[in-house]
Structure 1
Amino acid sequence: MGSLNAEPLLSLESIPEGALAEVEVRLGEDAESLILYRQAGAVRAWLNVCPHAGRRLDWAPGQFLKSREGLLVCAAHGASFELDGGLCVAGPCRGDALRPVAVEVRDGQVWLSPSPL
């Protein structure tokens, strides 16, 4: 398994405040899609997989639905996730949560943390 921190995922400035972004990354042997969410200069990340049916949450690559209440909405079946911790608060997987991935901001770039899952 190679170094997880070989290069940044993306620059912090490429994610507007309160916005969502998608990046492809290698976690061990697997290529994974991650959802990144920027709030107050910090970034949270989750695997781009809905716990309901195992499908991606974006309706097109990197294009996410956000409700007026600020919830991330799965494009497949409408599950709604709060963006503080990824908890499903409405829909078919209520009570489940998105799987977090540890990231950090260094020198204006978003990086995987040494322990990504």
Structure 2
Amino acid sequence: MLTLCSLNDIPEPGSKGFKFPDKSLFAVRARGEVFVYQNSCPHLGIELNWQEDQFLDYDDSLIQCATHGALFIIESGECIAGPCHGKALKKLGSKIENGYVVLTEEQVQN
């Protein structure tokens, strides 16, 4: 397991990005839960954000790709609008443990 950050490092609602040598991830905190995804739009494979830790739309209700405006459901990563409609972000298993956001899948090498 890999600890990403303290739960307090992610605003509610809000998001936070993480860079690793071989991957870029982000976490979204909403409605008392945290969801972790690979930071790669299914449309072009580029990172979703253009500003640090900014992955949500204007009212923090959907994940938004800054390049073409694709919108994704926070809980599932499913694209509901934009050029990748019907595709989904790659979701990683995570949990909150002792106040920290922890990956439960060995997807990231540190």
TM-score by length of 2: 0.86
Q: Which residue of 1 aligns with 2:12?
A: 17
Q: Which residue of 1 aligns with 2:100?
A: 109
Do the aligned residues in 1 keep the contact of 2:57 with 2:63 (CA within 8 Å)?
Answer: yes
> Quick check: which has more Rg, 1 or 2?
1
Aligned in 2, Cα 1:70/1:114: closer, same or farther, shift over 3 Å? closer
Q: Of residues 21, 27, 35 in structure 1, which corresponds to 2:26?
A: 35
CA shift for structure 1 position 52: 0.3
TM-score by length of 1: 0.81
RMSD: 2.0
Structure 1: runs of 5+ lacking an equivalent: none
Q: Distance in 2 between matches of 1:116 and 1:42?
A: 20
Do the aligned residues in 2 keep the contact of 1:103 with 1:116 (CA within 8 Å)?
Answer: no
* Code of the aligned partner of 2:7: L
Aligned in 2, Cα 1:106/1:69: closer, same or farther, shift over 3 Å? closer
Q: Which residue of 2 aligns with 1:47?
A: 38
Q: Distance in 1 between matches of 2:61 and 2:38?
A: 19
Do the aligned residues in 1 keep the contact of 2:13 with 2:60 (CA within 8 Å)?
Answer: no
Aligned residues: 108
Q: Of residues 44, 62, 75 in structure 2, which corresponds to 1:84?
A: 75
Structure 2: runs of 5+ lacking an equivalent: none
* Residues 10-54 of structure 1: per-residue CA shift (max 9 Å, x gap): 0001111111111124xxxx6211110112332111100000001
Answering whether residue 71 of structure 2 is matched by residue 74 of structure 1, we say no
Tell me which of the two structures has the higher relative contact order, counting C-alpha pairs closer than 8 angstroms and 6 or more residues apart.
2
Residue aligned with 1:17, SS = coil
